Chain A
Amino acid sequence: MRLLSLIAVIPLLFLFATGEVGAHAFLDHAEPRVGNKVAAPPREVTLWFTQKLEPAFSSITVTNAAGERVDTGKARVSGTQMSVSLRPAGSGTYHVNWRVLSVDTHTTNGNFTFQVGQ
């Protein structure tokens, strides 16, 4: 009977399965820094994460104040670091959207802004 009770615990543990599946690569810091103001348009945006990333499933898009894409496309990934080059796009608020897959197979996405000029 006691054995049956113990075995009955196992399906209960699977009930934890209804919880949120997490993701693991957190944004550690960025250059230009999150929310900061820089004098001239940067040539690239670089993000550092808390865990190693999968290049094929990690990306960054950067848009300017007018909502136009200013990144040149494919992000470069090396270990925990991801960069994308930018086209010159004047001053204003830049929006950075990122989506990454950490090597332990969990996706994370997020966004932040930084200011150029003014």
Chain B
Amino acid sequence: MDFGAADNGAMIATRAIHFAATAIVTGTLVFPAVVANPALKSQEAAAKLFRMQTRYVAWISLAATVISGLAWVLLLTMSLSDESLGEAITSGALRDVLSLTQFGSVSQVRLALAILLAFCLAFERSAFWRWLGLGAAVGLTASIAWTGHAASTPHTLGYVHLTADVLHLCAAAAWIGGVVSLVLLLAAIAKIPASPGATLVYDAARRFSTLGMLSVAFLVLSGIVNAWILVGSVRGLFVTEYGQLLILKLVIFALMLAFAAVNRFWLTPRLALRSGKTEQPEALRQLARNGTIEIALGLAIFAVVGVLGTQHPAIHLVQ
């Protein structure tokens, strides 16, 4: 048995960018709903600046999501038809991939969700459009599950796998996209000298830590289910390329958890100290720095995930 070839590097980079961009656009919509809007209720200036910055990030991420999504479809078509870009479009191969494969159908649905999300971002002053946008973003993230390993797992186990994958994707988006938003919030507060910075961030950080802990719980539980289905044994984790990449992903995840724990149990309580203490500005600076490191680690995880999806699941290689 041998295996079909594909443009590995371009495909992996495209997938990684797509996953990261989708997670960030979703997280930047989850964060205001759960964290920022309640925390910024009485801080109009900071709220305005934060909304402007998150909207900017959301638009860029959505554009990256759409472009990388289209690139993914084209790269797959070129790989399946063994044709150049122009040939793949004119020969009917692209039409076949879009109309005759599950990946093509899901890609069309996801493009429709991205367009709906763009409308929602454009009309976000109304609560209806904001909530509809949040729904579209969650759908855009969750539907990635139907393009990967979970989609091809047969029988009842396939439903378990899809459910775990949907939860995993949404939890990852809420966390990573949430950290991006938290860093933007810190930047917005730092730019407004009159705002009660530390108190406001204390409130936001506490709200975000609830969202973060829920996300981590879902990530761990769904990750265990996915590993059980795709790796199946401790040996598979160590002797296969898939397993070794998963270990790398887990190590990066553990580092992210360590930074999140420092933020929650060390830095956040320092924000609650009486204002004027030198600990507060220092804690704010460290929170912003740790948040940036968490984002970098999160992007590294997306890079690993970009590779993982192209590998043989370990369970197929280890008896």
> In the complex, given contacts A56-B96, A56-B101, what are 4 additional A-B residue pairs having Cβ atoms less than 8 angstroms apart?
A7-B296, A19-B307, A104-B149, A105-B76
The residues in A between 1 and 55 inclusive whose CB is less than 8 angstroms from any CB of B are 2-3, 6-7, 9-10, 13-14, 16-27, 50-52, 54-55
A to B CB contacts below 8 Å, 14 in the list: A3-B292, A9-B296, A9-B300, A10-B300, A13-B300, A13-B307, A14-B16, A20-B8, A21-B3, A21-B6, A106-B310, A107-B4, A109-B1, A110-B2
Q: Does A117 contact B (CB under 8 A)?
A: no
Map CB proximity to B onto A75-114 as digits: 1 under 8 Å, 0 otherwise: 0000110000000000000000000011111111110000
Interface centre among A23, A50, A103 (most CB of B within 10 A): A103
CA distance A108 to B6 in the complex (A): 12
CA distance A54 to B152 in the complex (A): 10
CA distance A40 to B101 in the complex (A): 37
One of B180-188, B208-216, B311-319 contacting the partner = B311-319
The bracket for how many chain B residues form the interface is: 35 or more
Q: Are A107 and B307 in contact (CB under 8 A)?
A: no
Output the least CB separation between B318 and chain A (Å): 12
CA distance A76 to B151 in the complex (A): 20
Chain B at the A interface: SS class: helix
Output the least CB separation between B18 and chain A (Å): 13
Q: B91 to chain A: which residues have CB within 8 Å?
A: none
Q: Are A108 and B1 in contact (CB under 8 A)?
A: yes
B contact residues vs A (CB 8 Å cutoff)? 1-6, 8-9, 11-13, 16, 76, 79-80, 96, 100-103, 147-154, 158, 241, 245, 289, 292-293, 296-297, 299-300, 303-304, 307, 309-313, 316
Q: Are B313 and A24 in contact (CB under 8 A)?
A: yes
Closest to A49 in B: B154
* Among A27, A52, A54, A56, contact of B158 (Cβ-Cβ < 8 Å): A52
Q: Tell me whether A21 and B151 are in contact in the complex, defined as CB-CB below 8 angstroms, given that A10-B300, A13-B304, A105-B76 are known contacts.
A: no
Q: How many positions in chain A have a CB within 8 Å of any CB in the partner chain? A: 39
Output the least CB separation between A34 and chain B (Å): 11
Q: Are B101 and A105 in contact (CB under 8 A)?
A: yes
* Among A3, A16, A18, A108, contact of B296 (Cβ-Cβ < 8 Å): A3
Q: B76 to chain A: which residues have CB within 8 Å?
A: 105
